[in-house]
Structure 1
Amino acid sequence: MHYALNLRTFFYSHYFYLGLRFAAGLVGVTLITLQFADMATAMTVCIGALCTALMDMPSPLRHKFNEMSASVLLCSAVTLLISLCAPVHWLLMSMLVAISFLACMMVVYGKKSMPLQLATLFIMTMSMEHDMTVRESFIHTGLFTLGAVAYLAYAMGISWILRHRIKQQVLAEALFELAAYIDIKADFYDTRYNLTEQFNKLVRHQSLLADRQQASRDLILRSHQNSKDAIVVQTHVCMLDLYELILSTHTDYAQLRVHLADSPVLKTLHDLAYKAARDIESVAYDVTRKKASYPEISYESELDAIEAELASLQRRVDEGKPAQEALAVLRAQRNKVRAIIKMIVELHRASQKVYDSTPFWVDADMGPFLSQQKYELRMILSHLRLDSPIFRFSLRVAMAISVGLAVAAWLPYAAHSYWIVLTIVIILKPSFSMTKQRRSDRIVGTIVGCVITALIIKYLNYPAAILGFLILSTVATPTFIYLRYRYAAIAVSIMILLQMHLIAPGNHDLIMERLIDTFIGAAVATAFSFVLASWEYQSLPRLIREVLGVNLRYMQASFDLLQGKGKDDFAYRIERKRLMDSLAALSSALVRMLDEPARKQRAVEDINLFIVQNYLLVAHVAALRSILRRHQKELPTAPVNAMLNESHEQVVRTLAQALAPQSASPASEPATAPAMAAVDTASVPWSGWPLVQRRIRLLQADAVKIIVHSEAIVRNVA
């Protein structure tokens, strides 16, 4: 279950804060307007505030101001344009289609532009029913803009006051997702769970974790000016270091299960991981409550049990029994678990201490770690081609809206075409899987919302009760819109239907008409989800090449770090972040493809394995780094670096082969695992040689598997 759906954490989450801020702003703007004007005027001002509120998301203050200002200007312009065109039917219809197309083209700017697209299409549909004179159109637009600017000022003021609080909440969300990631890892030690299914589950959660970590970076690393900010920066850095240690715990779980199948130590390892997840959750919970966090969980009994098992395995080895491999694997896991527990203690400490400054990157350029947003016209112009998925999506929406308007005009009853259009723009999304999910949530949410509204109107038709339900639904709508859209659909249906009931209380067919309009809009959106569709498999070759290219750069940075080249791990962190982002993008594409029709799915198993193998490379590098740190005092630098250097060259050659154009050919030679680097380890006694050599062998073998799977994917897609 999502952490914010737990009552213990819900009221501290930024989702609930967003709902309160949203509702207080809308209700406040409406009530103030009612002191000076009638209900119709207040509703116009309220809709202006609502369109701006759709852009009210956790963002750095400067970005938030730019995003919300863009919404004010764009939505005001659309309001005026549609209002002026409304008296001329053919001109209005043409303008609706044109604006729909242009609004959907804004998706080229990425995920952050989606709320702006929705706000634009929402006000377009809200304005299409008004038949006004030119003077009335300008007055209507002025009132709309007044509400939009009022909410902008209010939201910026609240966000400035709560700027540190929002950082804490977003950081806490990343920590909660990291704890959920460890819960999945814990089940690798439970023989009841299938390892392949667990790997797939882990990879799916990885993309969500990467998204939450990026949101944390964008807020925390952009501006850190005082001791409070230094605390969240240090906690964020500890979280990322802890994440790398967790990656390094990957081992041969199948072998571990075979060797230790009859031992209770597997359950002990599971319990340790479970406790670690709860420990991290306690840090996250304290961060949301603005408190310093202190360790409350003891790992001693589990660690003692592992030590006892290691002693037992050592006795078996001394007696000549075949337990050497199990001993080595368990000892390695013990060392990694101890490192993780130590880092969790550091995570607690990071939340306690008041820091004078931020980490080593005080004067470093944070740009590579942050999301870069560029709003340039040439980006839209470059996508004005039929092979662009965004251009096809824009055409799809424009055509669907045209059909929706035509259907509304032909219906025998007084259909509300704006509701049909609104349903279409809410359901129809750039990908088939998103459309499918949104359609289900919209229909179920509207039905439930209509039933609840009917009960309220029938049994609780009192001004105070209706106002209370209006406020509750206004809080719930933004709270759940990014959390559980189905709940948001229920809340928004209640909110809009109750508002319409207050404006026109005599309309007894209000709820039934909205239900019919919703089903019509959903049917049109479903039909057009297959028109000019861009299927996920079409983007796979590009995503595969991006992963391979980033992995090559990551390997260069990794081996430079392992060999001690450079003063810190800044470059390594950048490339690790880029690799995780590219893998998250590929994983998200795979998840979306699995929601598409079966005939449009390609190379599912190979993509799964390709993603897993790339994650394993990251895990092997993290493990190598942990081994070298643990043996730092007696480390024979020259021979170790020689082995690492040769291994690096072999891995790079392997990955480069996967990137080469000829690798897509079915006739290409099957890759074989490179030989271990020829370094004389016998002449340099060091206890870490077996561990380093084992990790390097695994690293090279998994690099070879990446070639096999990437070639299979390209062949399947072609």
Structure 2
Amino acid sequence: MINKIRKFIDSTYFTNAMKVTIAAVIPVVVFSFLGHFAMGFTMALGAFFTYPSDIPSSLKHKINGILVTAFLVAGINLVVNLIHPYSWVFYPFLILLIFLLSMISVYGHRGTMISFSGLVTVSLSFSSLNTGWAILEHAGLILAGGLFYLTVSLLFYYIRPNRYVELQIAECIKLTAKYLKLRGDLWTLDSDKKVIIEKQLHLQVELNSIHQNIREVLINGSNNTASSNQNRKMLLVFISLVEILELALSTAFDHDKLNSKFDNHPKVLFTYQSLAYHLAASLKKISKSVKKRNNYVSKHNLLRDLNALQSTIDNYETDLGKIAASEGVFMLTTMLNYAEKQVEKIKIIEKAFTLPANSEDFKGIGKDLEKFLTPQYYPLSTLTQNLSFSSNIFRHSLRLTITLIIGFLIGISFPFQNVYWILLTVIVILRPTYGLTKERSFQRIIGTVLGGLIAFGILYFIKDNITISIFSILCILLGFTFTQINYKVSATFVTMYVVFIYGILTPNISDLVQYRILDTVVGAILAFLANHFLWPSWEFLNVPNHLEKSIRANQNYLKEIAAFYNKKGIVPISYRLARKNAFIEVGNLMSSYQRMSQEPKSKQKQLPQVYQLAVLNHSLLSSLASLGTYTQSNATTTASEAFNVVVDTVVKNLENSVVLLKGNDCCFEENTPKEELAMHFTSLKKIQEKELKKGFPADEEAFQLKMQEAQLVIEQLIWLINLSENITKTTKIIKSI
């Protein structure tokens, strides 16, 4: 229990909640002591408004983002208060302001967070409308609160500058270990491979997200003089983790075939599965030691496991004889080579966390890595290009603007106590996707009712303001902590916090709870209806775009692999960028499928085919990564004409799939005839047959490497052809979406 509490307190979510809680509580306590509670509370609002923009990034981007948000929210409050008395100007201005703030989301994650802060500021501006000099004073206090939050955030950064990265790396290691564990599960007889593969796909989405967070902080911060060695050490670990994932994805075994092949030799596969589980367990233990900042001590002897697998292979070969066991030995050797590479990567990570950082170990490690980041600039053209109904953000901005105006009109037309709470509920709940909006609507209503009842019960028995104040601080701390973990729990604690604050300020607490619940229900209903009827962004409309991007990314990755296979030499940066993009786009396609599965049944058009295409693209990426990893790690022979013809056929198949998605059937590229393709495969197989006829040469190791190349390349090319054809066939079915 103590370990769980310690883990919770050390989490990124709790740390972020601590920052905003401290930045909000200190002004309230100080100004309350001086007899100016309202001033302290206004500064606390400034901290709350600014906090969302403090997202993972380099120090420079962190400071700039928080400063922009602090001045923006103060400016919004100032202008709303100045114009509010002039209704003929105020209402058109309010509509334009809400729309423009919503459109800021076109600038990515940071833009979305700044947009959210601005919209929350607009809604809460109606909670305290001022006149005269009080307008300027109120806006100034909000700005001061935002700047104070920046100060607190920087203090946390300099006290533990590397802790966020450590926790993100630890989480990345844990997720990677989970991925390897799932691969080990595939070797269990009668395992449900479909379920395991689906879990891997979902895990890929999580890994893509955390990879991006780590890139933003590490790559941008790799030149910070204060902790450059530490950053580069983490960068080395991160690169190793990406390579472990690529190796896992690239080594796709035919488990049914292998289980059948070694049916009479179960010890072979059992030994390998045990090694696979130990790979995952080793990473999991590293993750725990990083989180706890303990000294890492390896629990599993991976080198001994490798030797055990090698001994098992030798015994298998001895039992059957060299000729009879040759095919099986090739398969097992491929498995052993894969495991050796994974052990090598894990050893690099272990070394990084057990030995002192040496600058020579990281020499040149940050070269060209900036190219893996999304550029941080915000041209006006990005905004103007999204001013059309073809843009999801444009439709969502219109939807949100209309819903907020309707909520505002309902609030002032009927006897609602706090119109701003209706607006705030709409802003928090209404998301661009139907599934998330629906989920948040129910979670917020449940959390509000539950929080109101609990808080009301506590206030019924406890009347001491100091005790209630302590409860309110704990509630806001836990409310912010659970925002990303469990929104229902977060809404419960935030509601309790609001009720406690009003419990200190006003005796009519029962009326507050009733109105708070009513406001929340109205806001949730408005958000739900808006997402259903106002230009809804059903996911089936977005699927073709995600499909095209995923197919294109795989196609570009294949082209880079083929180019490297033909030219050899050093792996170019374009190859690594193509690989990264393929991973991301396949993950985005799976995310699209997940969102679609949360929508009404009537909108889940061709859902099985969408899932099938997600799996096919993932399998294609796996096969490509296998071919690419092999060509990088081994001295391959000269690429033959047959190899290039087959690759060209796969590229054309993928191109035809994109053409189908766009509805341009007439633009199909002529593909290689089946007969000619079969002839090229025959040509490739002759390499293997020719070597087999020669018998076993004196240099048996060189022979085995050559045979392994022939077998792997042929198998992957056949698999690529089949996958690309299946993608085209399934795309024909989904074309009607």
Normalised by the length of structure 2, the TM-score is 0.88
8 Å contact kept, 2:649–2:672: no
What residue in structure 2 maps to residue 596 of structure 1? 599
Report if aligned partners of 1:87, 1:132 keep a CA contact under 8 Å in 2: no
SS across alignment from 2:399: helix
The aligned residue for residue 387 of structure 2 is: 384
Partner of 1:528: 530
Structure 2 partner of 1:128: 126
- Map of 1:636-651 to 2, 5 A cutoff? 637-639=636-638, 645-651=644-650
CA contact (8 A) 1:214 1:371 kept: no
| Partner residue, 1:178 | 176
Check 1:356–1:307 CA distance in 2 against 1; reply closer, same or farther (3 A cut). closer
Q: Is the 8 A contact 1:453 1:494 kept in 2?
A: yes
Partner of 1:716: 734
1:653 aligns with 2:652: yes
| Aligned with residue 55 of structure 1, among 50, 53, 56 | 53
Instruction: Give unmatched runs, 5+ long, in structure 1.
Output: none
Structure 2 counterpart of 1:380, one-letter code: L
Structure 1 contact 227–357 (Cα < 8 Å) conserved = no
CA RMSD of aligned residues (A): 3.1
Shift of 1:494: 1.8
Question: Once the 2 structures are TM-superposed, how far is the Cα of residue 642 of structure 1 from its aligned partner?
Answer: 6.2
Partner of 1:275: 278
Match of 1:343 in 2: 345
Instruction: Trace 1:416-455 onto structure 2 (pairs within 5 A).
Output: 416-455=418-457
Q: Is the 8 A contact 1:664 1:715 kept in 2?
A: no
CA distance in structure 2 between the aligned counterparts of 1:361 and 1:602, rounded to whole angstroms: 49
Q: Residue by residue, what CA displacement relative to the aligned partner does 1:519-551 show, whole Å, maximum 9, x if unpaired?
A: 111111111111211111212222222222222
Partner secondary structure for residue 415 of structure 1: coil
Inter-partner Cα distance in structure 2 for 1:191 and 1:501: 61
Q: Residue 367 of structure 1 corresponds to which residue in structure 2?
A: 370
CA distance in 2, matches of 1:171, 1:363: 17
Q: For residue 540 of structure 2, what is the aligned residue in structure 1?
A: 537
Q: What's 2:220 paired with?
A: 222
Aligned to 1:405, the other structure's residue is in SS state helix
Deviates more, 1:371-380 or 1:527-536: 371-380
Match of 1:509, SS? helix
| Distance 1:525-1:261 versus aligned 2 partners, 3 A rule | farther
Is 2:550–2:582's contact at 8 Å kept on the other side of the alignment?
Answer: yes
- Aligned equivalents of 2:147, 2:551: Cα separation in 1: 46
Counterpart among 686, 691, 698 of residue 708 in structure 2: 691
- Which residue matches 1:487? 489
| Gap change, CA 1:504 and 1:299, over 3 Å in 2 | same
Q: Number of residue pairs matched?
A: 708
Match of 1:231 in 2: 233
In 2, the alpha carbon distance for the partners of 1:695 and 1:228 equals 39
Q: Contact conserved, 1:9 with 1:285, CA < 8 A, in 2?
A: no
Taking a change above 3 Å as real, the CA distance of residues 707 and 600 of structure 1, as seen in their structure-2 partners, is farther
Alpha-carbon offset, residue 294 of structure 1: 3.9
Alpha-carbon distance, 1:369 to partner: 0.8
Distance 2:186 2:482 in 1: 32
2:10 match: secondary structure: coil
**Residue in 2 aligned with 1:584?**
587
Deviations 1:637-677 (Å, cap 9, x if unpaired)?
54456665454434333333333469856797999874455
Tell me the distance in 1 between the aligned counterparts of 2:630 and 2:154. 48
Work out whether residues 447 and 489 of structure 2, in 8 Å CA contact, stay in contact via their aligned partners in 1.
yes
- The AA in structure 1 aligned to 2:651 is V
Q: Does 1:212 align with 2:210?
A: yes
Task: Look up the match of 1:498.
Answer: 500
Q: In the aligned structure 2, how far is the partner of 1:168 from the partner of 1:356? A: 19
- Paired with 1:152 and 1:186, the residues of 2 have a C-alpha distance of 46
**Cα offset, 1:210, TM superposition:** 1.0
Change (3 A) 1:650 1:707: closer
Q: Which has the higher helix share?
A: 2
User: Identity, % of aligned pairs?
Assistant: 22
8 A contact 1:83–1:137 mirrored in 2: yes
Question: Judging changes above 3 Å, is the alpha-carbon distance between structure 1 residues 107 and 84 closer, same or farther for their aligned structure 2 residues?
Answer: same
Give yes or no for the alignment of 1:567 onto 2:585: no
Structure 1 residue aligned with 2:69: 71
| Secondary structure, aligned partner of 2:220 | coil
SS of the residue corresponding to residue 430 of structure 1 reads coil
Cα drift, residue 629 of structure 1: 6.7
Checking the alignment, whether the CA contact within 8 Å between 1:627 and 1:688 is kept in structure 2 is no
Who is 1:190 aligned against?
A: 188
Tell me which residue corresponds to 1:701: 719
Q: Provide the rounded CA distance (Å) in 2 between the counterparts of 1:601 and 1:80.
A: 45
Are 2:405 and 1:402 equivalent residues in the alignment? yes
The structure-2 alpha-carbon separation of the partners of 1:326 and 1:460, relative to structure 1 and needing over 3 Å to count, comes to farther
Gaps of at least 5 residues in structure 2 are 695-702
Counterpart of 2:117 in structure 1 is 119
Provide Cα deviations, 1:255-308, integer angstroms capped at 9, x if missing partner.
234445673655554443333222112222333344553422234776576456
Q: Could you tell me whether the CA contact under 8 Å between 1:606 and 1:712 is conserved in 2?
A: yes
Query: What CA distance in whole angstroms lies between the structure 2 residues aligned with 1:556 and 1:236?
Result: 26
Q: 1:167 to 1:105 in 2, by over 3 A?
A: same
Structure 2 CA distance for aligned equivalents of residues 336 and 394 of structure 1: 49
Paired residues for 1:152-163 under 5 Å: 152-163=150-161
- Name whichever of 562-571 and 211-220 sits farther off: 562-571
Deviation at 1:714? 5.8
In the alignment, the residues of structure 2 paired with residue 629 and residue 101 of structure 1 have an alpha-carbon distance, to the nearest angstrom, of 50
Superposed displacement of residue 75, structure 1:
0.8
Q: 1:651 to 1:414 in 2, by over 3 A?
A: closer
Greater Cα offset, 192-201 or 613-622: 613-622
Aligned to 1:81: 79
Out of 555, 560, 570, the position equivalent to 2:558 is 555
Residue 15 of structure 1: how far off its partner (Å):
1.9
**Structure 1 residues 506 and 538 mapped into 2: Cα distance closer, same or farther (>3 Å)?**
closer
AA aligned to 1:58 is P
Bigger Cα displacement from structure 2, 39-48 vs 671-680? 671-680
- 2:462 maps to 1:460: yes
Distance in 1 (CA, whole Å) between partners of 2:480 and 2:231 is 27
Q: Is the Cα contact below 8 Å between 1:231 and 1:353 reproduced in 2?
A: no
Q: Is the 8 A contact 1:168 1:290 kept in 2?
A: no
